[in-house]
Amino acid sequence: MSGSTRRRSAFGVIAMMVAGCAAPVLHAPLGLDGAGDATSAKDARLDHGYALVLDLLRNEAKVDGVLAIKSPRPEVADLLRRIAAAAKADVGAIEEHLQLDPPIDPTSTGLPLLEIDARNRIANAETPGLLFSGGRTFETRMLLTQQKAAQYAEAILDGLAVADPNPHRRAMARAAATRWKALERQIRAWLTVIEEVEHPPQRAASADSGFDHGDHGGG
């Protein structure tokens, strides 16, 4: 078997493994059965979806409050302010669209009690470490929490952009998902910058040491 054939075979095996492991996602609006007006479909799961994203975004809207007690570098502080501003804008947009047909009742996330308890326990465990850290450690921890939040916001908004039978809310959710995807990329870029400062590549470290690997032969 030639090298190119082996590479194609290996790629095919990997592709099948990835396809076989793909988790199911929504591909059509909730509640649609092919009959009637699409916008008349009502499904409590849609209420839960909007409740979840509103809960997340309302928390993210307050993330810049940490700047009252912490002083990260200006670029990171600006990113936190933009995250908060995006969250506030998306909360407002969602609330303006809640009464479109079918109307949304975002009063309950539908999460089981133990799921809520687990989330609260994680938040209670992470918050002290974040607040009592400083410098690059604070920036890294803060940005990691924001990266997770941005990924979740993008994912659930993407799902709502498929699940919602109302075309206006779908378009709104899709635009918001795009914004959070862009924010997640910016957060990831800053995490990379911090990582490279804290742990420079080995070759760069060797070059900075002034050690010439070619000068230690016999004289």
Name the percent of the chain lying above pLDDT 90: 61
Whether the pLDDT of residue 210 is over 70: the answer is: no
Exposed/middle/buried for residue 37 (C-beta within 10 Å: 0-12, 13-18, 19+): exposed
113 is written with which tokens? 């009690």
208 is a domain residue: no
128 is a domain residue: yes
Whether the pLDDT of residue 12 is over 90: the answer is: no
139 is written with which tokens? 């920036």
109 is a domain residue: yes
31 is a domain residue: no
Total domain count, the chain? 1
* 51 vs 13: which has the higher pLDDT: 51
The tens digit of pLDDT for each residue in 133-178 reads 888 899 999 999 999 999 999 999 999 999 999 999 999 999 999 9
CATH of residue 123 = 1.20.1260.10
51 is a domain residue: yes
* 200 vs 116: which has the higher pLDDT: 116
The tens digit of pLDDT for each residue in 185-196 reads 999 999 999 888
pLDDT band with cut points at 50, 70 and 90 for residue 27 = confident
| Domain assignment of residue 194, given as a range | 41-199
172 is a domain residue: yes
21 is a domain residue: no
Q: What is the pLDDT of residue 5?
A: 56
DSSP 137-167: HHHHHHHHHHHHHHHHHHHHHHHHHHH-S-H
The tens digit of pLDDT for each residue in 48-77 reads 999 999 999 999 999 999 999 999 999 999
Q: What is the pLDDT of residue 73?
A: 93
165 is written with which tokens? 């039978």
Q: What is the pLDDT of residue 170?
A: 96
pLDDT band with cut points at 50, 70 and 90 for residue 84 = very high
Please state the rounded mean pLDDT for residues 15-43: 59
Phi, psi of 210 (to 5 degrees): 80, 5
Whether the pLDDT of residue 216 is over 50: the answer is: no
138 is written with which tokens? 């604070």
Whether the pLDDT of residue 204 is over 60: the answer is: no
pTM score? 0.76
49 is a domain residue: yes
The tens digit of pLDDT for each residue in 111-141 reads 999 999 999 999 999 888 888 888 889 999 9
